[in-house]
Structures are given as structure tokens and as C-alpha cells.
């Protein structure tokens, strides 16, 4: 069996995740890993100085220094789940999950009709998207104000928006306060849709969407417009079917 030598940070205060992943990757490639755990900050610094490297972990195969986890990935020609650049992965994960949740929800009620499924899917999607925004309101606000027309004029709206979205989604699920829930959904959905159309399709701006929270790499565009159109359409449907 081939051997590999690994030096990784493993102190009382911090266990390096990339060190663990490096060891796992080497073992999966059939290497017996001689695992050197650097258990104090002094040992980490001493290792860096001695080997003239800036980071740990560091992996060696034979006499060759491969480097850290990313270097091992390249060396073995592997791929990771690391998101780089713009990506729709968060949106795909959210809508796939809420799709299954909606199916489970209406199945539990014994009603597999199409309209209740669509209503549940949109409402659950709104709640999940709102939660992602609420986990870091500050970051969401910073990204949201760059394109939302109302938030650019009244910054406080960027802090209110996630609460309004969650209120509308939860209200749809519970079928309570229907007129207020419907009007809230129509209001935020219509402003959002107009804002996206102006920023992306009129001004041709290449910016990130805050739909899954701040600091995301989801591009503003069709998906963002879809979220707002869903809210707008659902609000109109609720007024038509349950109020008027």
C-alpha cells in the first residue's frame, strides 16, 4: 500500500476541516496516511516556518509536496461541492425540497388535487425563502437595496420585506387573514417583479439576487422574477377564490 504523509491542525480550540477531508481523500485513493496532528498553535507556526508554507494541511506523497485539500483535489482530478462563481444550486435545492414538502403536505391531508398542491408549494417556498433572508437581515438588506425600487428609496423596507414574505406564506398555509395576506403578497410580489425587470431586462445590470439571503451567488434574473410572479399570482388567486 502506498503511503502519504499529512500535517494538519488539530488543536484544542480548532480542528481543521480541510485536514479531515484531506485524510479522507487520501485514504479513499488507497493511501496509508501517516497522520501528523499539529496540536498547538506554536507547532503549526513552527511547521509553516520549517517547510516554508503559508497554510495547513499539507500532504506529501513520496518526496513530493502536494499541498492542501484543494491541491489534492486537483492532483487526483476530483470534484467538490464547493460553490464557485454564480450558481443556481441554492434555488434548485430550495424548490426541489419545497416541491416534495408540498406533496407530503397534501398527501397527509388526503387531497392530491393540483390546485391545493400549487398553493402549498408556493406558500412553503415563500416561507423557506423568507427564513433564509431572516438568518442575516443585514447582509440581505445590503444586497436587496441594490436593485429593489422601494428599498432603494426607503431602506427600512429591506428589513421589513422578509417578515412580510413569511407572514404571507404562513397565512396562505393556515388560510387565515386572507384579504391581508393576499394584499401583502400582491404588494411585495409586484414591486419585486417590476424591480427585477427594470434592473435586469431594461438596465441590463449583472448583479446578484438576495432571494436566498445576503451574500449569495445566485444571479438576479429569471429565477428572481419567478419568485415575485409566484407571490403576485398567488395573492391574486387568493382574492379571487377566497374573498371575492
pLDDT digits (tens, 9 = 90+) for 131-148: 999 999 999 999 999 999
Dist. CA 62–CA 31, nearest whole Å: 11
From 76-90, 116-130, 206-220, the region with the lowest mean pLDDT: 76-90
Checking if the pLDDT of 241 tops 90, the result is: no
How much is the pLDDT for 207? 84
Q: Which of 240, 239, 231 is nearest to 121 (CA)?
A: 231
- Residue 214 burial (CB count, 10 A): 18
How much is the pLDDT for 81? 65
- Residue 218 burial (CB count, 10 A): 20
Q: So what CATH class is 3-75?
A: alpha beta
Q: How confident is the model at residue 83 (pLDDT cuts 50, 70, 90)?
A: low
How much is the pLDDT for 75? 93
Domain limits of the chain?
Answer: 3-75, 89-243
Q: What is the mean pLDDT of residues 86-94?
A: 85
pLDDT tens digits, residue range 22-36? 999 999 999 999 999
Checking if the pLDDT of 87 tops 80, the result is: no
Checking if the pLDDT of 89 tops 90, the result is: no
Mean pLDDT of the chain: 91
Checking if the pLDDT of 236 tops 90, the result is: yes
Dist. CA 171–CA 238, nearest whole Å: 11
Q: What is the mean pLDDT of residues 61-66?
A: 92
Integer-rounded Cα Rg, in Å, for the chain is 25
Percent of the chain whose pLDDT exceeds 90:
77
pLDDT tens digits, residue range 172-221? 999 899 999 999 999 999 999 999 999 999 999 888 888 888 777 788 88
pLDDT tens digits, residue range 163-184? 999 999 999 999 899 999 999 9
Q: What is the mean pLDDT of residues 11-28?
A: 94
User: Torsions phi, psi of 116, nearest 5?
Assistant: -60, -35
Q: What is the mean pLDDT of residues 68-80?
A: 90
C-alpha dihedral (118, 119, 124, 127), degrees to nearest 10: 130
What is the reported pTM?
Answer: 0.80
Percent of the chain whose pLDDT exceeds 70:
97
Amino acid at each position: 500500500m502506498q503511503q502519504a504523509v499529512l500535517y494538519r491542525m488539530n488543536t484544542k480550540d480548532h480542528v481543521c476541516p480541510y485536514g479531515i477531508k484531506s485524510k479522507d481523500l487520501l485514504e479513499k485513493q488507497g493511501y496509508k496516511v501517516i497522520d501528523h496532528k499539529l496540536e498547538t498553535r506554536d507547532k503549526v507556526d513552527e511547521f509553516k516556518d520549517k517547510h516554508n508554507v503559508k497554510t495547513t494541511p499539507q500532504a506529501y506523497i513520496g518526496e513530493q509536496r502536494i499541498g492542501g485539500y484543494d491541491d489534492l483535489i486537483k492532483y487526483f482530478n476530483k470534484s467538490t461541492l464547493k460553490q464557485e462563481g454564480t450558481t443556481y444550486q441554492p434555488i434548485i435545492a430550495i424548490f426541489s425540497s419545497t416541491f416534495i414538502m408540498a406533496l407530503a403536505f397534501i398527501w397527509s391531508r388526503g387531497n392530491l388535487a393540483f390546485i391545493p398542491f400549487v398553493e402549498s408549494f408556493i406558500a412553503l417556498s415563500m416561507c423557506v425563502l423568507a427564513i433564509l433572508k431572516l438568518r442575516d437581515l443585514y447582509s440581505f438588506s445590503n444586497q436587496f437595496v441594490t436593485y429593489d425600487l422601494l428599498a432603494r428609496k426607503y431602506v427600512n423596507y429591506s428589513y421589513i420585506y422578509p417578515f412580510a414574505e413569511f407572514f404571507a406564506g404562513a397565512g396562505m398555509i393556515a388560510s387565515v387573514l386572507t384579504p391581508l395576506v393576499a394584499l401583502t403578497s400582491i404588494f411585495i410580489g409586484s414591486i419585486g417583479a417590476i424591480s427585477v425587470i427594470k434592473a435586469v431586462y431594461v438596465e441590463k445590470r449583472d448583479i446578484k439576487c438576495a432571494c436566498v439571503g445576503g451574500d449569495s451567488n445566485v444571479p438576479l434574473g429569471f429565477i428572481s422574477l419567478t419568485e415575485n410572479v409566484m407571490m403576485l399570482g398567488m395573492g391574486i388567486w387568493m382574492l379571487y377564490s377566497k374573498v371575492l
